[in-house]
Structure 1
Amino acid sequence: MSAESLQESFAAIHAASRRHIVVDWATRQHRLQQLLLLLKEQQHAITAAIAEDFGQRNPIETSVLELIPSTQAIQHALKHGKKWMRKRPVKTSWLFLPASNHVLPQPKGVIGIVVPWNYPLFLTIGPLVDALVAGNRAMIKLSEHAPVFAALMARIIPLYFQDDEVNMVTGGAEVAAAFCALPFDHLLFTGSTAIGKHVMQAAAPNLTPVTLELGGKSPVLIHDVRHLQQAVARIMYGKMVNAGQTCIAPDYLLIHHTLLDDFVAAAQAWFAKTYPKWEQNSDFTHIINTQQNQRLQAYLDEAQIQGARIMALAPAKEGLIAPSLVIDAPNHCALMQEEIFGPILPIVTTASLDDSIHYINARPRPLACYVFSQDSAVQERCLQEIVAGGMCINEVLLHVVQDGLPFGGIGPSGMGAYHGKTGFDSLSHLKAVLVQKRFNTMGLMGPPYGVVIRSLLKILKP
């Protein structure tokens, strides 16, 4: 898409948003139902496009990771959206009675959404649901690294929406930069921390508010040996599903040194059982492209040169990095500094829970943190002392698909949150309203200042 056509598309959708400021529930409901219909009618084309972009991704994995959560998000919005739209009464201080206060949610207008390649459907539909239920229109920049999916969405969205309702944008980095510089009413970006900084810079001249869903190194902590097999199964699933190309995947493991051998043995057994004959296994998603595969291999090579032990869980496959555990990787190597985004799990041994908590808090605040312990005191301590965008206890990943929970990071892992009512509120203008009654006492508060106001000040002054 050229810069000129991008500007034309924005101008059209922006003008429509200003013509139709009031967006009733029937309109919002219809748009959400159209989105649901799109998923129903196009699901096979969508899963095939995503599989082609990745080189291999089982349609069942796409259904579980993307189609079902997307459908549930739409259904949640359809069930609750009308209630979210209502004005919200707020208590009025006695001093200003008989006035009344309320908050009125209004559509912001046009929402810009920038979609990454790793979950191209879910990270398109999730923000779009929140934009539509809040009464907005949306322009969506699809990732050039998932070109088949992007072309499909650009082709089918006009079958379900008018161009001035939902508009798909395709193109490379230059288009993305121009897209982020448009004067949106809100911009929601999902991607890396490094690119997130550029997005903020692009949005700043327009004072466009931003929601940044970034990444980082999400830790997982195992505290005790009870139910270790179950913990291993969940951690390894979270690391290997979508080949680790998940922003909230367990990035590294903290475990007491006495449990290391047991964890490694259990992880090896889990992988062999879950992905038998890995080289030919169609259940394991491929790394998206050669560039990402080479990046991951460089991380492994550097760590190994610097003394780390690389424990491959399967033989390498041509053009595809072998899933691996990494032990004793130096803290300064890229594997321990950068978000991995692949099927590699570094393991850090610690001497105590104090050490584990300190290790996490000494680093940039993560998007997610996972704690495996059956001890309620340990659970509570981790919840209180570790600052992260979100947390799971004895589980991984699943907080992201809970429509009642906000999803977002903190600091380097993100800014703002969305999903469900949180997303509705984020993409609405929550207008403060005071309604005054005809007969009121406000006239007594102004000059000339007399006995009444002087008596009132005696009550109100500290």
Structure 2
Amino acid sequence: MDPEQMTETVSLLRKSFDEGLTIPLQFRRDQLKALEKCLRENERAFVEALGKDLRKNPGEAKLSEVDLCVNAIKTAMLELNSWTSPTHVSKSMLTLFDTLYHYPQPYGLVLIIGPWNFPISLSLLPLIGAIAAGNCVIVKPSEVSPATSEALTKYLASYLDERCFRVIPGGVPETTSLLNLKFDYIFFTGAAKIGRIVSAAASKHLTPTTLELGGKSPVYLDDSVNMDIAARRICWGKFTNAGQICIAPDYVLCSRKTSKIFIEAVRKVIREFYGEDPKASENFGRIINVHHHRRLVKLLSAGNGKTVIGGQSDESDLFIAPTVVTKVDPSSALMQEELFGPIMPIVYVDSARAAVDFINEKSRPLALYVFSSKKSVHKLFREKTFSGALSINDTALHFAVEELPFGGVGESGMGAYRGKFTFDTFSHRRAVLHKNFNFFGEKAGSLRYPPMTDLKVGATATLLKKRRGIPLPTASSLLAFAAGVGVVFLVQALTSVS
């Protein structure tokens, strides 16, 4: 699609939003149902595409890509009435006779730029929230996962209303052309380097953004844990999708003594997960392309540590074995950038406090993992570190919990989503103050009118003074009482006149 066609597409979708096509809740439900139908009826095609791009195990692909999205759709369908309802707030003395509430409004036209590592779920989960919130959406899938990009382009167009939702495939030129256009919200998942480009483009139009980036998510491990269980959970987070997960454990911080026990446990887990030869296992994925394969091999060869597990690679098969490297110097190439591959460096630290200091010297990570049975260690990391998420005694699983916000902080991103948080991301909370022409309300409000006197200033200050808000039931009672007082005064006035 050339820039002129993109401009025309954006104009058509913006016209659809301006005409209010996406606002009715029934329309949103219909589109969510259509998206669920798309996923269910074409599940096999999506799984096969993921197999071509990343050699994902079919069961893993179904669970982490298709089923995750279907569950998110069901949540949105169940909660849509609740999410879209206005929220009434407590009143003060000044607003006693007013109606106060806020409610969600869609931003308008949204651009979602998806990644290549989980190209279905990380493109469609934001789309689900954007649809539920009432937006029109353009999805730009990653060209780095071409088979999945083709599948998304083909099938979404067959199920969603093309007046409001489009998929635009392509590479850097297409993304650049899109970013030159004005959107009302941009949601990007990918590398921090590209995130900066997206942020700069959005700033030209003052477009709000969510940036889901990444970084080096650390693991702290001590000897108080059940090491077999800890190793299993860490390896699952690290080696799933061949380590190409934005919240994969990037490196491990532990003592020399703990590392020896941990390494032996990891050996057993790798055999348990992938057999004696991970290359022959259908449960172990592949690196996305030659460029990233060479990047990882170069990092591994440039590191100054000792490879104690794995290290084998085959460029023709895009294979890198599950690898553990010990005695890694903090200045090593392995420690300078997010690895995004099945390589696990181990850096020695003498204590939990030393691990906290090490982590705090670096950019704030997307996730931080603490494996310890000591409550004091949990408290130390909870209070003295910063990260997008903190998981204690597990890895990566927090992303699957819809009730938890998922997002980064600082270099690892801005904004959050999942469940209602996705709906909130694509909604503006519009504040409403509704006054009527009530006599008593106007009398209280007239204190603001000129000319100002000491009496008016004092009375207004009293009304504005911060105090606990008046709950709605109490406010109703006060209004009833005020109305009663008014009636009494009115009766007295009429009696005196007669």
TM-score under structure 1 length normalisation: 0.96
The amino acid across from 2:103 in the alignment is L
Deviation of residue 458 (structure 1)? 6.4
The question of 1:233 aligning with 2:232 is answered yes
What is the one-letter code of the residue matched to 2:269?
Answer: W
Aligned partners of 2:461 and 2:122: how far apart in 1?
57
Aligned to 1:278: 278
- Conserved? CA contact 1:271–1:313, under 8 Å: no
Contact 1:279 1:315 in 2 (8 A): no
Q: Whole-Å Cα distance in 2 between the matches of residues 33 and 311 of structure 1? A: 50
Report the CA distance between 1:333 and its aligned residue.
Answer: 2.8
Shift, 1:136, TM fit: 0.8
Inter-partner Cα distance in structure 2 for 1:42 and 1:263: 42
Q: Pick which of 195-204 and 92-101 moved more.
A: 92-101
CA distance in 1, matches of 2:41, 2:78: 21
What is the Cα deviation at residue 253 of structure 1?
Answer: 0.6
Contact 1:404 1:420 in 2 (8 A): yes
Determine the structure 2 residue equivalent to 1:400: 399
Aligned match of 1:447: 450
**Match of 1:288?**
288
User: Displacement of 1:7 after TM fit?
Assistant: 1.2
TM superposition shift of 1:28: 1.2
Alignment of 1:5-154 (within 5 A): 5-20=5-20, 23-54=23-54, 56-154=55-153
Partner Cα separation in structure 2 for residue 167 and residue 134 of structure 1 = 17
The reply on whether 1:188 has 2:187 as its aligned counterpart is: yes
Offset at residue 95 of structure 1 (A)? 2.1
Q: Show CA shifts across 1:308-345 (max 9, x none).
A: 11123374345322221111222223310100000000
Q: Take 2:93 and 2:465, find their aligned partners in 1: how far apart are those partners? A: 15
Q: Which residue of 2 aligns with 1:248?
A: 247
Query: Is the 1:91–1:100 Cα contact (8 Å) retained in structure 2?
Result: no
Cα pair 2:219 2:249 within 8 Å, conserved:
yes
1:363-402 matched pairs, under 5 angstroms: 363-402=362-401
Residue 310 (str. 1) matches residue 313 (str. 2): no
Give me the whole-angstrom Cα distance separating, in 2, the residues matched to 1:314 and 1:341: 15
State how far apart, in whole Å, the 2-side matches of 1:308 and 1:137 are: 50
Q: 1:419 to 1:458 in 2, by over 3 A?
A: closer
Q: Following the alignment from structure 2 to structure 1, what is the Cα–Cα distance between the partners of residues 228 and 156?
A: 44
> Which amino acid letter does the alignment assign opposite residue 394 of structure 2?
E
* 1:94 alignment partner, SS class: coil
CA offsets 1:368-392 (integer angstroms, 9 cap, x no match): 0111112223212211221000121
- Contact 2:47–2:61 at 8 Å: present in 1 too? yes
Q: Is the 8 A contact 2:448 2:460 kept in 1?
A: no
Residue 22 of structure 2 contacts residue 28 of structure 2 at CA under 8 Å; is this kept in 1?
A: no
AA aligned to 1:37 is K
- Corresponding position of 1:415: 414
CA–CA distance in 2 between the matches of 1:202 and 1:299?
31
Identity, in percent, stands at 34
Matched AA of 1:453: K
**CA distance in 2 between partners of 1:249 and 1:135 (Å):** 33
Cα deviation, residue 224, structure 1:
3.0
Shift of 1:288: 0.7
Q: Is the 8 A contact 2:22 2:164 kept in 1?
A: no
Amino acid at match of 2:446: G
Whole-Å Cα distance in 1 between the matches of residues 76 and 216 of structure 2?
A: 31
> What is the DSSP-based 3-state SS (H/G/I as helix, E as strand, rest coil) of the residue aligned with 1:417?
coil
Checking the alignment, whether the CA contact within 8 Å between 2:278 and 2:321 is kept in structure 1 is no
The structure number with the bigger radius of gyration is 2
Aligned-residue offset at 1:24: 2.1
Counterparts of 1:317 and 1:260, CA distance in 2? 28
Greater displacement, 213-222 / 176-185: 176-185
Deviation at 1:452, TM superposition (A): 4.4
Which residue does the alignment assign to 2:489? none
Aligned to 1:253, the other structure's residue is in SS state strand
Q: Hey, what's the Cα distance between the residues in 2 that align with 1:236 and 1:401?
A: 17
Contact 1:144 1:171 in 2 (8 A): yes
Q: For 1:140-179, list aligned pairs within 5 A.
A: 140-179=139-178
Aligned residues: 458
Correspondences of 1:259-270 after superposition (within 5 Å): 259-270=258-269
CA contact 1:180–1:187 (8 Å) conserved in 2:
no
Runs in 1 of length 4+ with deviation above 6 angstroms?
A: none
Query: Structure 1 316/449 Cα, relative in aligned 2: closer, same or farther at 3 Å?
Result: closer
Q: Distance in 2 between matches of 1:9 and 1:237?
A: 42
**Which stretch has the larger CA shift, 309-318 or 384-393?**
309-318
Taking structure 2 as the reference length, what is the TM-score of the superposition?
0.89
**Partner SS state of residue 407, structure 2:** coil
Alpha-carbon contact 2:112-2:126 (below 8 Å) kept: yes
Are the structure 2 counterparts of residues 447 and 368 from structure 1 closer, same or farther at C-alpha, using a change threshold of 3 Å? same
Deviations 1:293-322 (CA, angstroms, capped at 9, x unpaired): 00000000110xxx3111233743453222
In structure 1, runs of 5+ residues without a counterpart are none
CA shift in 2, pair 1:334/1:4, >3 Å = farther
Q: Is the Cα–Cα contact under 8 Å of residues 58 and 282 in structure 1 kept in the other structure?
A: yes
Distance 1:362 1:214 in 2: 19
The amino acid that maps onto 2:309 is: A
Report deviation, 1:425.
1.3
Spell out, residue by residue over 1:187-219, the C-alpha distance to the aligned partner (whole angstroms, 9 max, x if none). 000000111001111111111111000010001
Q: CA deviation at 1:134?
A: 0.5
| Structure 2 SS opposite 1:456 | helix
* 1:269 positional shift: 1.3
Contact kept in structure 2, 1:245 and 1:342, CA below 8 Å:
yes
Equivalent residue, structure 2, for 1:324: 323
Segment of structure 1 superposing worse, 355-364 or 435-444 = 435-444
Tell which deviates more after alignment, 23-32 or 259-268.
Answer: 23-32
Indicate the residue corresponding to 1:298 in structure 2: 298
**Structure 1 partner of 2:492:** none
- Does the C-alpha gap of structure 1 residues 60 and 461 become closer, same or farther in structure 2, counting only changes over 3 Å? closer
Distance 1:144 1:461, change over 3 A: closer
Letter in 2 for 1:330: D
SS of match in other structure, 1:434: strand
